[in-house]
Structures are given as C-alpha cells and as structure tokens.
Amino acid sequence: MTGVLAQLEPISGAEGYPARHDVRDAWLVRGGERIPVVVKRIGRDFRQPDGNTRAERADRIARHLLACGIDTPEPLGLEVTPEESVFVVRKLEGAVQIRSFFLRRDDPGRQPPPVKATFEEVLTALGRLAKRLHDAGVFFRDFTDGNILVTEGEAGPRLWLVDLDRARIRKGPLRTFNRLRDLARPGLKRAEDRRFLLSAYYAPGPVPPVVPFVHAALKRRIVAWDRLKKVLRPWRR
C-alpha cells in the first residue's frame, strides 16, 4: 500500500509517544472517512534496504499475527521513501500499557488503570498470549511492558502487541530458549509474579523443572544490561 503520507492529517497539539522513533496520533482521511490512527516514522540507513525496512517488517508481522488470531492494531498504511519508512495502524481507544498494572502491583497507592481487570487476570492473559505467539513461530524479541497494550474484553482483559519491527517469524514453534528470552522481558520485579507468569504460560501442564532456573538467569542478564545501558546512554547518543 503506497501513498499513505498524502492521506494523513495531523492532530493539532498531539504529543508524540515516548519511543525511539517518531510515533504520534493522526487522522487518516480515506474515502471521506477520518480514521484515528497511530503513525510510526522510522529513519532509514544502510541496514534497511527496500523490501526490508522496519515499517515493512512491522507490516508483515502484523498481518501474520492477525492471521494467527493474535491481537495487534489493524495495519492501515505503509509507505517507504529514501529517507524513512512509515507504518500506520488503527488507534486503539481506551488502551493502556501493561506496565500500568505492574507499577500498581509494586505501589498499591497508585491510581488504578482505567481498564477494569485484576493483576492476576492480566498476568494470566499475558501468559496465554505469549504461548499463542510462540506456538505460531513468532520470536517477539521486544516483549516489554511498553509494547503490550490492555483493553477491556467481553471475557476479561484483552492484550494487544505493538512495535513489531524487531520480531521474527520462525518455521514452526519456537524452541524453549527463545520462548524464555521473551518471557524474561516483562518488568515483573517479584519472583512469585514471574512464577505465576510461567504457570499461566505452561497451563494446563506443569512448568518443566529447568525452566524457572533458565528464566531467572535470563532475567538477571536483562536487568544487568538495562542498568549498563543507562550508564552508557550519554555515550551511545
């Protein structure tokens, strides 16, 4: 799909989302209809040849997820120029990042998220989502709190995946190590919460005995790397 840039109408005063790239709300004017959308603009470099820009990868992953019955915002447009690649998706109304539930878990005095769901319901839904994702052969690689959105569903919280351009599609279900690399990403600080997530992921069967130890080691590595990145950030810019 091309020409989407010409169909975008900026929203006056709209602020960008906190992200590595330019991500902001806009209107998509198409067929006389104004559709609320989120636009992600990613600058190009030599690592993004035609056909494999980050926006094109995000579009492919989004369509694969939807074909597998996994929720992600509907892709509505894609355009690639020599300077950037642009990916446009339908805006989810009433969605919050899953980190809202994690933060309130650690600080019960915080304002509760506007989505009506318990922490346990959200964590159970997260485990089930990850299992479907991995069984569909998708290694998400950025399965973090900011890339998982929550809305209210008819049968409980509904989870959506966003920021898809780092994901990869494998042939067949993922191997255990890559499954655990994804599962170690969510920002769960308590060991009991991480065990709960693993139980939800492997339900109705038991968690394999070695899994908690590998998962814990991967989590420690991620935490250490995140701390190092904060130290290195002034030199990495």
Q: For the domain that residue 100 is a member of, what is the CATH number? A: 1.10.510
pLDDT tens digit sequence for 149-177: 999 999 899 999 999 999 999 999 999 99
What does pTM read for this prediction? Answer: 0.92
Q: Are residues 59 and 28 in the same domain?
A: yes
Q: Are residues 77 and 171 in the same domain?
A: no
Q: What pLDDT does 86 receive?
A: 96
Q: Are residues 130 and 172 in the same domain?
A: yes
Amino acid at 140: F
Q: Are residues 75 and 105 in the same domain?
A: no
pLDDT bracket for residue 1 (50, 70, 90)? very low
pLDDT of residue 51 exceeding 90: no
87: CB partners within 8 A, 6+ apart? 39, 40, 42, 54, 55, 58, 59, 75, 77, 78, 165
Q: What is the CATH number of the domain that holds 71?
A: 3.30.200
Flag the least confident range among 16-25, 58-67, 175-184, 186-195: 16-25
Flag the least confident range among 13-22, 40-49, 218-227: 13-22
101: CB partners within 8 A, 6+ apart? 113, 117, 119, 122, 123, 150
Q: In a 10 Å sphere around its CB, with 0-12 CB exposed, 13-18 middle and 19+ buried, how is residue 51 labelled?
A: exposed
Q: Report how far apart the first and last C-alpha atoms of the chain are (Å, whole number).
A: 33
Flag the least confident range among 36-50, 72-86, 95-109, 192-206: 36-50
Number of domains in the chain: 2
15 SS3 class: coil
Q: Are residues 140 and 180 in the same domain?
A: yes
Q: Are residues 220 and 109 in the same domain?
A: yes
Domain of 24 in residue numbering reads as: 4-90
